[in-house]
Amino acid sequence: MSSATVILMLAVFGACCVEAVEALTIVLASGTTRGWRSATEGTAAALVVLGVLVGAVGVPLIHYVPIDALRVLVGALLGVLGLSWLRKAILRASGHKAKHDEDAIYQATAASLRASSGTRGRRDGLGFAVAFKGVFLEGMEVVLIVISLGASQHRLGYASAAAAAAVVVVSTVGLLVSRQLSEVPENTIKTVVGIMLTSFGLYWLGEGAGVRWPGSDLAIPVLIGVFAAVTAASVALLKTQAPAPARLGPADDGGVAT
Amino acid sequence: MSRTAVRWARAFGHFWWDFLVGDTPELFVAILALVAVAFALRHDRVADVVTLPALAISALLGSAWRGRSRVGKRRPAQEG
């Protein structure tokens, strides 16, 4: 297994851990307020759909799209995702943006579900829909990362295995502690994954366009080092201009680009 | 059936808009510029390996600077 493959698996594992923690919060809120059967079924249905998407989109991409075009495309996608994660991580670490708060999100989701009317029998449509939507939306970013990184290096199997491992780890820990994982250092993980995605994105974008990086795959760890240094310097610089913490509103992490 | 298809198409378009552009259109533009520069400089080994990371770093710093909340000014719109 090459060093690029190991970095790829770490990036997918980290990204999937972050999204799985966020999805777990929504599933737990749905399960505790609307019943576990519907929440479990909604989660399982979303995971099946996401798995089918990886197979249906990823496999044809590998076999039918020219590798250079594929690398430019996935490099651009990873670049957009990585830079936006990094930007958010820099703003959070420097105090310009409120940190992601799983406790607050859990309370808000649970309160909203409790207030909703509807039958709370063995099968609850709202509980199913909320769990399905939460897992599906959080999972879509992981699917994009798995397909992008997996297809560009022809390592779809490794990327999928890393994503599945993250889901299993987060789900197991979540079940064991029976609550949302608010202590997971999401911002730190997101920073590391953002650095990795940006570095991979830039590398593949260049490779696909015909750029020959010095040292080939070894350019990836170098890019990771450069972006890590830039991130640290940006956080230090922006910290000097941070407003008082009380001025910051709560984080709003709905939507896809979290 | 057609209404459902339209709803799904809208949701699909909305997802990609949020994903690619969202509240940071400058990063989307930067990526398009990176693709163009990568193709333009692909035969210049030194220029491309320096220019591509430099452009990405500039885009990141510019976007983070734009997103900072300033003391005494209204906080920028909340971002997801």
Q: What is the pLDDT of residues A173-196, one digit of tens each?
A: 877 776 666 666 778 888 898 999
For tokens 């005494």, the residue is B72
Rounded to two decimals, what is the model's pTM? 0.77
Domain count for chain A: 1
A153, part of any domain: yes
Give the pLDDT confidence score for residue A117 in this predicted structure. Answer: 64
Give the pLDDT confidence score for residue A252 in this predicted structure. Answer: 42
Of all residues in chain A, the one with the smallest CA distance to B50 is A213
Of all residues in chain B, the one with the smallest CA distance to A83 is B60
Query: Domain limits at A21?
Result: 3-239
pLDDT band (50, 70, 90) for residue A121? low
A151, part of any domain: yes
Cβ-based neighbours of B19, under 8 Å, separated by 6 or more: A80, A81, A141, A144, A256, A257
A171, part of any domain: yes
Whether A83 sits inside 8 A of B19 (CB atoms) is: no
Give the pLDDT confidence score for residue B56 in this predicted structure. Answer: 95
Residue A211 scores a pLDDT above 60: yes
B29-56: burial string, b at 16+ Cβ within 10 Å, e else: ebbeebbebbbebbeeeeebbebbbebb
A188, part of any domain: yes
Residue A107 scores a pLDDT above 50: yes
User: Could you report the predicted ipTM of this complex, rounded to two decimals?
Assistant: 0.83
Residue A212 scores a pLDDT above 70: yes
Residue A116 scores a pLDDT above 70: yes
A64, part of any domain: yes
Average the pLDDT over A42-71 and give the result: 85
Cβ-based neighbours of B75, under 8 Å, separated by 6 or more: A243, A247, A248, A249, B69
CB proximity B33 to A under 8 Å: no
Amino acid making up residue A71: R
| CA pair distance A96, A235, nearest whole angstrom | 10
Residues of A in contact with B59 (CB under 8 A): 83
A84, part of any domain: yes
A258, part of any domain: no
Chain B closest CA to A205's CA: distance in Å?
7
A93, part of any domain: yes
Whether B53 sits inside 8 A of A226 (CB atoms) is: yes
The count of CB pairs under 8 A between chains A and B is: 134
* Lowest mean pLDDT, pick from A15-29, A86-100, A138-152: A138-152
